[in-house]
Structure 1
Amino acid sequence: MKIITVTVNPALDLTVYTDSLRVGDVHAVSFIRKDSGGKGINVSKVLHRLGVSTIATGFLGGSVGHWIRSDLSRQSIQHRFLEIDGETRTNVKIITPTEETQLNGTGGLITNHDLDRLIEQLHSLVQPGDAVVIAGSIPGDADYTMYRTIIESFGKADERSIFIALDTSGQALTEAVQARPNFVKPNVEELEQWWGSPLRLESEIAHAARELRSQGGEIVCVSMGDKGTLLVTSEGLYRAIPPVITPKSTIGAGDSIVAGFVSQFHKNRKPHEALVYATACGTATVMHAGSEVCTKEEAEAILPQIQLHVMEGEER
């Protein structure tokens, strides 16, 4: 069994630390961190650290794309990215003692021919019993039905021999969920965007998550930051609550949740068991600076501190 991750809009993540940030001023930088990024790539990083076989694929271009390939090779992460015209984007995150500011690039152009190439490659990589994680944004000029097209290329949901996980937002989420992925993981903000109004109460979040599941997601997991994670399945509603910690960076936390859940569920763990492990992975990642992700040892050290609340249904 292996898990293939798809990142159509990767990034070079630059994390810049400074004492303060004022528009128009000159600032001294205390530290700069440079990481290969993009949600699918982050999922592969976590899976690799958890000891799970993974291959990262998607699109890369230009000198930034070359750097990301070299960085993944340095970390011994298998990758099969396709080359496209244009330059892979750069994201900048500015961190001060009191706040974080993000400046995200747009990414290179993806054509219909590029999408056909990606689908062909995926079908050559994926074998029965594997999992595919489709994660991250779609570049602004690309077709927002791209993820739906990829999922539908593997056939109807009840006829697939693979597990498909989805982590995206906006129109891409609205379209792709109709192709019935097995697992969908929005955060609260992404769920609010899909729902069309604020979700302030846990009951409201749970209701919206059920509705998202009814649209086609077999399992829906909502990441809620320090409030934990919410899981909706055919068996019930669960919430996993992490211990109180001091976060260093939120980059990659949601991706760690995806990696933790898929890796455990794919090992025939029950959904609520996979949820607890996923929450431990997400919690361990926010204890790292920049785009650094958790290790297996760090996640397992936090695991006993995760509280599972069975809100509806039973533990089985």
Structure 2
Amino acid sequence: MILTITMNPSVDISYSLNPFKIDDVNRVESVSKTAGGKGLNVARVISQMNEEVKATGIMGGTVGSYISKTLKAENIKQDFLMIKKESRNCIAILHEENQTEILESGPTLEKSEGDLFLKKLSDLLNHVSIVTISGSLPKGLSPKYYQKLISLCEKKKVPVLLDTSGRTLKETISNSSKPLLIKPNETELGDLINKKISNSTDVLKKALSHEIFNEIEYVIVSLGADGAFAKYKESFYRITIPKIKVMNPVGSGDATMAGLAIGLKQKKSIEETLKLGMTTGMLNTMEKKTGFIDKRNFDNYYSKVHVEKVN
């Protein structure tokens, strides 16, 4: 089973308004509400690929209850640490071909709540073969908190795929306990090594050879419509994807993480794992709803993803 961790889940609310009137009343006819958070998108896509998955993390209040109810309706197994504090709402206003987002920060956690989740995770790890950690940490927890999760997973011999950014990412990969895989985009990669990054092969090879990535087996760099570039052990790969009609790019990185987790769980080759991740990522962009794919299109687009070793 794959376990997905979302430490700061949300209810994602989408309002479609045309026009969006400032300092006036806006009446909304089209409203979409989903259980949100990067790790929940990962869990959703894994489930849609017919792989066994369980979602965990910390949530609470009426918002947390709504998230739990939504996941249950989608037949996604869950085991969250429930707290009294209210989880967050994240609002997207779609207007005049623009998207304006209003994001709550979520609850501020106590150290004791972080410790309780570590205990819960320790039990959950006895029944899973791979873990994904996605998204930001809630307020109150140290940027080094993901280090604790990864150290615990290492003790239980469960590999971790990590998708976060900023100080949290840098703090986490600087620890002695390493994730098996990280998935920065170009900007995040540049921030990690304090250099501007282009998507040329030589620049990317040099960037991924930086000592900060030592002992991280897989580093996958998202390049948007240009596909991805990957380092696996000492080898480098460029992944190209076909042109597609993009309906909604939000969550495509999470869908990619889902595909990578499936590939690694199934012990597929590096080429197959990369193709699987890129395919699920593409399929997400072709759907209006975030964190959704149409598996019926999988084989067609999988065959159009090309992985080239560039050593």
TM-score normalized with structure 1 length: 0.90
Q: In the alignment, does 2:168 pair up with 1:169?
A: no
User: Which residue matches 1:139?
Assistant: 138
1:129 and 1:161 in contact (8 A); partners too: no
- Write the mapping of 1:141-220 to structure 2, written as runs, cut at 5 A: 141-155=140-154, 161-177=157-173, 178=175, 179-203=177-201, 204-211=203-210, 214-220=213-219
Secondary structure at the aligned position of 1:103 is classed as strand
Which letter does structure 2 place at the counterpart of 1:169?
S
Question: SS of the counterpart of 1:191?
Answer: helix
Structure 1 residues 1-25: Cα deviation after superposition (integer angstroms, max 9, x where no partner): x111111010111122233446545
Q: Which amino acid aligns with 2:17?
A: T
Which moved further from structure 2: 78-87 or 207-216? Answer: 207-216
Question: Using the alignment, how far apart are the partners of 1:91 and 1:298 within structure 2?
Answer: 30
Deviation at 1:237, TM superposition (A): 1.1
Mean CA deviation greater in 193-202 or 239-248: 193-202
Where do 5+ consecutive residues of structure 2 fail to align?
none
**Secondary structure at the residue paired with 2:86?**
coil
Give the structure-2-normalised TM-score.
0.91
1:127 alignment partner in structure 2: 126
Name the CA shift for 1:14/1:198 in 2 (closer, same or farther; >3 Å).
farther
For the structure 1 residues 196 and 18, does the alpha-carbon distance in structure 2 shift closer, same or farther, using more than 3 Å as the test? Answer: farther
In structure 2, what is the Cα distance between the partners aligned to 1:235 and 1:124? Answer: 34
The secondary structure found in structure 2 opposite 1:282 is: helix
Residue number in structure 2 paired with 1:108: 107
Tell me by how many angstroms 1:114 deviates: 1.5
CA distance in 1, matches of 2:245, 2:307: 21
Query: Partner residue of 1:52?
Result: 51
SS in structure 1 of the partner of residue 63 of structure 2: helix
**Counterpart position of 1:307:** 306
SS at match of 1:154: helix
Structure 1 stretch 271-280 or stretch 285-294: which is displaced more?
285-294
Contact 1:213 1:220 survives alignment (8 Å): no
Distance 2:19 2:205 in 1: 38
Distance (Å, rounded) in 1 between the aligned partners of 2:247 and 2:260: 22
Q: Residue 286 of structure 1 aligns to which amino acid in structure 2? A: T
Distance 1:273 1:212, change over 3 A: farther
Seen in structure 2, the aligned counterparts of structure 1 residues 6 and 23 have a Cα distance that, compared at 3 Å, is: same
Distance in 1 between residues matched to 2:196 and 2:144, nearest whole Å: 25
Contact 2:153 2:160 in 1 (8 A): no
CA deviations 1:160-211 (Å, max 9, x no partner) are 5222110101111112113211011112232233233432333434433332
> Equivalent residues in 2 for 1:224-239 (5 A)?
224-239=223-238
Q: State the shift of 1:216 in Å.
A: 4.1
Offset of 1:91 from its aligned partner? 1.1
Alignment check: 8 A CA contact 1:12 1:68 kept: yes
| CA shift in 2, pair 1:292/1:167, >3 Å | closer
Asked if the contact 2:263/2:276 (under 8 Å) is kept, the reply is: yes
- CA drift of 1:239 comes to 1.9
CA gap 1:212/1:185 in 2 versus in 1, 3 angstroms: farther
**Is the CA contact (8 Å cut-off) linking 1:9 and 1:136 kept in structure 2?**
yes
SS of structure 1 residue aligned to 2:126:
coil
Distance 2:168 2:215 in 1: 14
Per-residue deviation at 1:243? 1.4
- Residues 183 and 219 in structure 1, CA contact (< 8 A), matched pair in contact too: yes
Distance 2:128 2:61 in 1: 34
Specify whether residues 97 and 228 from structure 1 end up closer, same or farther in structure 2 by C-alpha distance, changes over 3 A only: farther
Report the alpha carbon displacement of residue 251 of structure 1 after superposing the two structures with TM: 1.8
How big is the alpha-carbon RMSD for the aligned residues of Structure 1 and Structure 2?
2.1
Hey, what does 1:82 align to over in structure 2?
81
Corresponding residue for 2:256?
A: 257
Say yes or no: does 1:298 pair with 2:297: yes
